Amino acid sequence: MTHAFVFPGQGSQSIGMGKALAEAFPAARAIFDEVDDALSQKLSALMFEGAESDLTLTSNAQPALMAVSLAVVTVLKAEAGLDLSRDAAFVAGHSLGEYSALAAAGALSVAATARLLRLRGEAMQKAVKVGEGAMAAFIGVNAETAAEIAAEAASAGLGVCDVANDNGGGQVVVSGAKAAVERAMELAKGQGVKRAILLPVSAPFHCSLMQPAADAMAAALAETTIVAPTVPLVANVLAAPTSDPAQIRELLVRQVTATVRWRESIGFMAGQGVTLFVECGSGKVLSGLVKRIAEQATGLPVGTPADIESYQARLAL
């Protein structure tokens, strides 16, 4: 099997996402309605025509991105005959996208996934007071050097500084206390980093400051039914596949504070023969990263009715 299905994380949201799908396909509308019902909120109305500032709120962005991803998968099943267990070697998701991947592969119900992501977003926002944390993207650096820079910044007594995302293509994100992240940005200049960019985020994700959020997710996941996915999940924490529900539950908790090992995850799947990564949902971020990580592979973003047609045309080749 040469296909993997991947699911985007926070930052890929935009007003209007999913609207054309909902207008074109009853299967997509059904997913948006199901998420709305699960959250007792017209999240779809916010996604289609709300305020950007409201959609960007972590507690809204996380379930909203999942809803678009699952709408895409549901439409692909209805219109293109997609069967993940037959057509995919793996599924994977970037941060919150891991929940979308699990729901797409049948490990979690749509309603449970929506409620978990609402809780995850709220818990991550509450874990650190606004203004006390920060994240920065380093461009032109490997993960090892970024980790050394983060460790040096943390050792200065300014607080936590961890590697949050190893995205590939020389892009690594650090996260932690604002003063420590700012110190890491200064140190990066002397380590050959091409650019260090402070990210416009409301909390320092994927660092040890998120432990309160991890604790909240542990309690919620303990009460959530998880079954074996129909396709192995390449987990953020492991950069390796798993289908074991107990391990998946543990990894989802660890994921809150751990590094998203995206470069290694894509590299693993490419090494297993995957040549096409179908990005289900809003935006094209993951498809761009695939180009930088696995030169022989292709990323195919699918998030609109036109993209659905492109996917069908590709299958017909």
**Which residues are the active-site residues?**
95, 206
DSSP-assigned letter for residue 215: H
**Distance in angstroms (rounded) separating the CA atoms of residues 297 and 316:** 19
* Beta strands 276-280; 3-7: pairing state: parallel
Name the residue among 103, 185, 178, 104 with its Cα closest to residue 138: 185
* Rounded Cα gap, residues 314 and 267, in angstroms: 23
What's the full length of the chain, in residues? Answer: 317
Alpha carbon of residue 53 to chain centroid: 20
Q: CA-to-CA distance for 245 and 114, rounded, in angstroms?
A: 18
d(CA 227, CA 239): 20
Structure tokens that stand for 122 in this block: 């709220």
**Among 260, 314, 307, 263, residue whose Cα is nearest residue 281:** 307
Burial class (CB in 10 A: 0-12, 13-18, 19+), 295: exposed
List CB contacts of 79: < 8 A, sequence separation 6 or more. Answer: 25, 27, 308, 312
